[in-house]
């Protein structure tokens, strides 16, 4: 019973926070897609933190492990409802990000007159979002550490 309550609470928290973050992201993107990508995309980092907290509360490390946990309690209505809400939220996030990507691609093609690159090299220059410094992809490779690298395409 306690495990089911922990699972239901964790799912509810993740869904509620994910919905709030999605609404905020939609509002920010609607104002200006360019501003959203340059300055507001960090809204999505809150979702990463919420997901990590969710996994930690269940004592798992991957989505498939979390799914195994909720499969055991899926026959309980409260768990089933929260899982269904989470899956719906996942679909809504996917649709939102797809629309942002599509809008950016059409903007990119109009502005640059060319398609996006298929590959990038280690000497490709990027802007570090935390420091605003120019860095190359090569600076992050081969450091024998686990690194989350988020590349956001923008041709402005």
Distant-in-sequence, close-in-space partners of 103: CB < 8 Å, separation ≥ 6: 33
Q: Above pLDDT 90, what percent of the chain?
A: 36
Q: Is the per-residue pLDDT at 32 higher than 70?
A: yes
- Domain positions in the chain are 2-100
Give the DSSP H/E element, type plus range, for residue 135. Answer: strand 134-136
Instruction: Give strand pairing partners of 125.
Output: 136
What phi and psi, each to the nearest 5 degrees, are found at residue 126? -130, 170
Write out pLDDT tens, residues 50-74: 899 999 999 999 989 999 999 999 9
Lowest mean pLDDT among 78-87, 91-100, 101-110, 111-120: 111-120
Going by C-beta distance under 8 Å and a sequence separation of 6 or more, which residues neighbour residue 143?
Answer: none
End-to-end CA distance of the chain: 54
């Amino acid at each position: 019973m306690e495990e089911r309550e922990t699972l239901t609470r964790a799912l509810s928290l993740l869904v509620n926070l994910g919905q709030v973050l999605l609404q905020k992201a939609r509002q920010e993107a609607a104002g200006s897609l360019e501003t959203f990508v340059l300055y507001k995309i960090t809204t999505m980092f809150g979702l990463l933190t919420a997901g990590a907290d969710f996994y930690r509360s269940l004592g798992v490390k991957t989505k498939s492990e979390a799914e195994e946990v909720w499969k055991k309690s899926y026959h309980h209505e409260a768990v089933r409802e929260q899982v269904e809400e989470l899956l719906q939220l996942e679909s809504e996030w996917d649709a939102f990000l797809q629309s942002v990507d599509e809008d950016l691609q059409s903007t990119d093609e109009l502005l640059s007159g060319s398609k996006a690159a298929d590959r990038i090299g280690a000497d490709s220059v990027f802007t570090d979002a935390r420091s605003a410094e120019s860095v190359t992809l090569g600076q992050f490779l081969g450091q024998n550490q686990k690194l989350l690298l988020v590349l956001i395409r923008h041709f402005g």
